[in-house]
Amino acid sequence: MAKYLLVSPDRYARFGHQTSSISTSLLLAYMTGSRVILPRYMYSCDKWNQYVNFSRSKFVCAEVTGSHLSAVYLENWKTDNIGNRKWVFDNTQNVQQLLTQIANTDDNSIIFLPFDQTPGILHRLYNQTRLREDIRGVFRFDNSIVSMDNPYVAIHIRRGDVNEESHPSWYVNNSFYIELIERLCTILPNSFGIYICIQGDKSWLQRIRLTQLGLGRKFMVSSACAGFANDYEVADFLTMKESTILFSASSGFSHWASIIGNQKLVVDVSRYNDTPLDWVKHLNPDSPTESVWKTISSLADRYN
């Protein structure tokens, strides 16, 4: 006898958002002893289905067994601003409400989770080694598509759907990143390459790129089109995953690269110090602290 969780990710969301939605069901299955039924459609960009297979998770079932199955919809009692009834997992009380409802559901139930359910604080569970290893097993890549050789720094600069007007709290201006790159190049030896992952305009990075190339440092800028990812999206993700140092953005794309990666250091560039992962350091672009730079300097000493 078992309970089955059916996840419904946003079919047309981007990779990071869809992955977070599907992983929410795995974490809930872990917490409740349930099993996950995968959706018919996984990723809107089908190429991701070649590299990411959630059926490899031990929390996913290959088939539903038993008779007299019943369907149960466990939704939030109130809707959000777009009419969705997903749970807001920003505190333990909200999480416990859903866990209690799952516990009170009869065995042999197929439990429909809300559309586009996101994990919130549940991602703290990935601080547990066994859960992190489980999600890592879902991803399998051909490392030949990595764009740089270690050691290197990967920096994700979120643009595209994020700008000063649409998402001002997520937007980090160009001057911050120029100063960040200049300081990295001062601290890190020339053996460290620089890899920039960005969407849209990259012309503002050309001067510093040419300067560093002239000094003998590897420096690459990979740019997808502003609206949709191009064919280099998988290579960008894998290159961030394999980096020595990763600067992530307010984005599921680089967030997932930090969860399944083996970086020596991950720094989240964000105005909110809400990173749930123990190994990730925080850097506020409006008031950066020196503690991150001390860690980078210490790491650089190993390569000098």
Instruction: Give the per-residue pLDDT at 227.
Output: 45
- For residue 194, the model assigns a pLDDT of 96
| pLDDT value for 225 | 54
The answer to whether 158 and 199 are in contact (CB under 8 A) is yes
Average pLDDT, the chain: 87
56-84 pLDDT, tens digit each: 999 998 777 777 788 889 988 888 777 78
Q: Supply the pLDDT for residue 226.
A: 45
Tell me the percentage of the chain whose pLDDT exceeds 90.
48
What is the percent of the chain with per-residue pLDDT over 70, rounded to a whole number?
95
Q: Is 283 helix (H, G, I), strand (E, B) or coil?
A: strand
pTM of the model: 0.90
pLDDT of amino acid 164: 80
The reported pLDDT for the residue numbered 256 is 94
Instruction: Give the model's confidence band at 1: pLDDT under 50 very low, under 70 low, under 90 confident, else very high.
Output: low
- DSSP string for 162-223: --TTT-TTT---HHHHHHHHHHHHHHS-TTSEEEEEEES--GGGHHHHHHHHHTT--EEEEE
Alpha helices in the chain (DSSP H): 15-32, 92-103, 129-136, 174-187, 206-214, 233-241, 252-260, 291-301
Residue pLDDT, tens place only, 230-240: 457 888 899 99
Give the model's confidence band at 303: pLDDT under 50 very low, under 70 low, under 90 confident, else very high.
confident
Helix, strand, or coil (residue 269): strand
Place of tokens 């990666």: 261
The residue-averaged pLDDT of 265-286 equals 88
* pLDDT at 255 > cutoff 50: yes
14-28 residue pLDDT tens: 888 899 999 999 999
Give the integer Cα–Cα distance in Å for 97 and 4: 18
- Mind listing the pLDDT tens digit for each residue in 109-149? 999 998 889 899 999 999 999 999 999 999 998 777 777 88
